[in-house]
Structure 1
Amino acid sequence: MKRIVIVSDGKPGHLNQSLGLAEAIARINPAVQIETLAPLSRSQALKALLFGGPEAPAKADLVIGAGHATHLTLLALKRCWRAPAVVLMKPSLPLSLFDLCLIPEHDAPKPRRNVIATRGALNRMRPGAKVAGSGMILVGGPSKHSGWDEAALISAVERVLAQDSRSWRVTSSRRTPAETEARLAGLPGLEFIPASQTPSGWLPEQLAQTECCWVTADSVSMVYEALSAGCAVGILPVPQLKPNRLQAGLDLLVEAQRVVPLARWQGETLSPDAGPLDEAGRCAKELLARGLLPG
């Protein structure tokens, strides 16, 4: 049995990325045990880097993590356990210190032996059996990168409802203003489920069986999850405050014709890619091919 330890900073998005990779490895090699570990304190990590022996569980065969707070611990465990360390982002420490860096292509990573550029952040999403005529609309909210135009959003959603007669379900996010939720709840022809009423694991289950998904452009991580779930994906516009790397990644998806912006949509039935996006699976295969989890 091989042991993979995920160093988790407690942020769900970061843990989702790490679990996406670990679970993809386990699908290839079922003899894998996945555990999580909180980061060591800075003093513990530095002591371990200098002298060895952190206060941590038994030796792992591979350590992975996402989030700046995990970096020192990853390197400390790498030294003490002599285990490969994989970081799922562009690290704040030198790339050469890690055995493998999985960096989204929108961060423009330079070609290196230990770097793999990924289409967005990894996730746990897997496609399931699709329900014919099913559709979801995922609504985000204002962020440091994006503004919010409620009237334009409602108009965009109404256009989708008018031009595509499938069965639509709409859900919001923690960032969605209450006023926008109220407007969405009042629209005819759809089922609105606020984020506050969705249990853990609900959205992945829904996306796995949904044929078509429209996502507001601020919710970039959800765009990649919808693609990984095998959905046909359209993009609802939101005001951009300034150019940013996440929007650049979305532009790459548009150029690759993986997603369709509303401005280019003529009411046709959106089609999914021939194969769902599976960056976690691709990276897992590459990691194993490089011998980073010895047999």
Structure 2
Amino acid sequence: MNAGNSLRAILILSDGIRGHINQSRGVAHWLSQLTGAEILESEVPALTGTAKARAKTAARSLAAGGTRRDARDWLAAADGDALIRRVGQWFAERNIQEGSGAVLIISAGSTPAPYNIALGYIWRCACATVMTPGTIGTDPFDFAIVPEHDYPERKPNILVTLGSPNYVIKENLKKEAAALLAEHPSSAGEIWSVLIGGDDANYVITPEWVKKQLGQILNLAQHAGADLYITTSRRTSPAAVKTVKTLAAHSPAVKYLLVASEDDFNPIPAMLGFSKEVFCTEDSVNMVSETITGGHRAVLLRVGHRGGFKGLIQRATASLVNAGALSPNMLWGIPKFDLVFDHFARNDSLIEYRDWLRVRRENTQLPPTEEASEEFNEAKRAAQWIYDNWK
């Protein structure tokens, strides 16, 4: 039996993080296209403090092997009673029986993962994770979609992806682009988009970086007669956001700015639908993957790197890997993500900003971006893999 014969519902469990939701939605969309399954969504409880710590400890035991009773007890302790009732009502309304092989539960990231497994125990349905959940790993899942830079083990339940699956549907981009342009029109010969990420354990985007890097792009756009459309991330610091706003307010080239911390709308698909150039900061593999899925060559903007002892160890590990003294799966932090960008660059799907700048100054031509990235869609490939391996 394959998924086309039995799958009726795909339940997305989310932690409210836009990047995670879009990864799950992308896989769910393409699997729904293959099967006709209905897509349902629910956010999991946001635990904090000691409740979160206790739930994580109990989740490890549940994932190692549990019963339906264990799953119900865990969900009750993890504030999941409302989630059980909501999902149970959805299934009852659709006459979906437990163990019928009619449901796939999918989640991305660590927070929703134990809820995914617990509900899977209760309704005896298939479970899928995008990325490796830090708390419970990939072994409890029927399907695990894990990026190559995490160096996952090669197991039957794991699909290795380049970059991140995403919810960029290339066929819809022009329609989304037209809608955004209707509200924020441009009459320029070229439109450029800038996708700005933010701070994390490895990278930092400072106001000084914004002034220098975004300021240069603004000047280049004005000289080229191009209009700029800009979006930030929820991880962009308030200080960096303030600087972006100031620069945008004083530049006639900027036609649109969306600050993610102030607006839930995701403009990236629309921006991919009308842009000639797309600039992405290196801290976001998701933004880079979305850009390439949308048919563009990503122009990679390097940002600040965290220093200190951790950065020193990362660089030392990378040196040992390059010398052949350590296996590549020992890489971590920034060098690990650099491997992803190197892979994209070898396939002409990514170019470093400094190289893009040189090409423009020399007035030379790059290969067409459509040829570079036309077939890149890891969400679609993951959906096909689940479909082909459904039992």
Q: TM-score, normalised by structure 2?
A: 0.65
Q: SS at the partner of 2:167? A: coil
Separation in 2, partners of 1:279, 1:220? 13
| Equivalent residue runs for 1:11-22 within 5 Å | 11-22=17-28
Q: Do the aligned partners of residues 108 and 8 (structure 1) sit closer, same or farther apart at CA in structure 2, a change above 3 Å counting? A: same
Task: Using the TM superposition, name which of 115-124 and 261-270 deviates more.
Answer: 261-270
Q: Do the aligned partners of residues 186 and 220 (structure 1) sit closer, same or farther apart at CA in structure 2, a change above 3 Å counting? A: farther
Structure 2 contact 226–253 (Cα < 8 Å) conserved: no
Among 104, 107, 110, the alignment partner of 1:65 is: 107
Q: Do the aligned partners of residues 96 and 189 (structure 1) sit closer, same or farther apart at CA in structure 2, a change above 3 Å counting? A: closer
Report the Cα offset of residue 115 of structure 1. Answer: 1.0
Unpaired segments of 5 or more residues in structure 1?
none
Instruction: Summarize deviations over 1:110-151 as a string: whole Å, max 9, x none.
Output: 221111111222211122338873321222344332233234
Aligned to 1:116: 159
Structure 1 contact 214–236 (Cα < 8 Å) conserved: yes
Task: Using the TM superposition, name which of 181-190 and 84-93 deviates more.
Answer: 181-190
2:179 pairs with 1:88? no
Aligned to 1:5: 11
2:282 pairs with 1:180? no
Among 22, 30, 39, the alignment partner of 1:24 is: 30
Q: SS at the partner of 1:35? A: strand
| Equivalent residue runs for 1:126-141 within 5 Å | 126-127=169-170, 128-129=173-174, 133-141=190-198
Aligned to 2:38: 33
Separation in 1, partners of 2:137, 2:297? 38
Structure 2 contact 67–121 (Cα < 8 Å) conserved: no
Q: Percent identity?
A: 22
Q: SS at the partner of 1:97? A: coil
Report the Cα offset of residue 183 of structure 1. Answer: 2.1
Q: SS at the partner of 2:369? A: coil
| Equivalent residue runs for 1:92-111 within 5 Å | 92=134, 93-111=136-154
Structure 1 contact 172–181 (Cα < 8 Å) conserved: no
Aligned to 1:224: 289
Q: Do the aligned partners of residues 146 and 156 (structure 1) sit closer, same or farther apart at CA in structure 2, a change above 3 Å counting? A: farther
Aligned to 2:354: 263
Which amino acid in 2 is paired with 1:287?
A: I
Rg larger for: 2
Unpaired segments of 5 or more residues in structure 2?
1-6, 48-54, 73-83, 92-97, 179-188, 312-332
Q: TM-score, normalised by structure 1?
A: 0.84
Separation in 2, partners of 1:76, 1:165? 55
Separation in 1, partners of 2:198, 2:266? 21
Separation in 1, partners of 2:10, 2:18? 18
2:160 pairs with 1:143? no
Task: Using the TM superposition, name which of 254-263 and 74-83 deviates more.
Answer: 74-83
Separation in 1, partners of 2:148, 2:269? 24
Separation in 1, partners of 2:223, 2:158? 43
Separation in 2, partners of 1:277, 1:21? 14
Q: SS at the partner of 1:68? A: coil
Q: Do the aligned partners of residues 223 and 116 (structure 1) sit closer, same or farther apart at CA in structure 2, a change above 3 Å counting? A: same
Aligned to 1:200: 265
Aligned to 1:282: 381
Q: Do the aligned partners of residues 141 and 80 (structure 1) sit closer, same or farther apart at CA in structure 2, a change above 3 Å counting? A: closer
Instruction: Summarize deviations over 1:213-259 as a string: whole Å, max 9, x none.
Output: 11222233211111122223211221222442434423332233211
Separation in 2, partners of 1:225, 1:68? 21
Structure 2 contact 193–275 (Cα < 8 Å) conserved: yes
Aligned to 1:211: 276
The alignment yields a C-alpha RMSD, in angstroms, of 3.1
Higher helix share: 2
Among 304, 316, 319, the alignment partner of 1:239 is: 304
